[in-house]
Amino acid sequence: MDLSQHEWAEKALADTNGVILDVRTEEEWEDGIIPNAVHNDIYKGQGFVYRLDEFDKTKNFYVYCKAGGRSAQACAIMKELGFANVFNLEGGIMNWDGEIVEPEM
């Protein structure tokens, strides 16, 4: 489900059962992330799918990328794999007006 920046932020930041998932590349990830995001690069193909298997499918996933395209694709894949609640950030991190932090290495 696509959510506007405001709706996504409101839900993601208040959800105690939520996971913020960044599906950008490693280089993009290093440029800064939405706080508490976990990384899983969609361009890793099967590696992306294997990493998804490590997640708890009962949690709510708030997914973002740079502009919203890859995260929409990731949400579709996650739905196919049985994730119940996935929310795409419309416009991606490019339009994010919330906090952006350095990822912990």
Catalytic residue positions, numbered? 65
Q: What span, in angstroms and rounded, lies between the C-alpha atoms of 5 and 86?
A: 15
User: Any residues with CB less than 8 A from the CB of 77 and at least 6 apart, and which?
Assistant: 42, 48, 49, 52
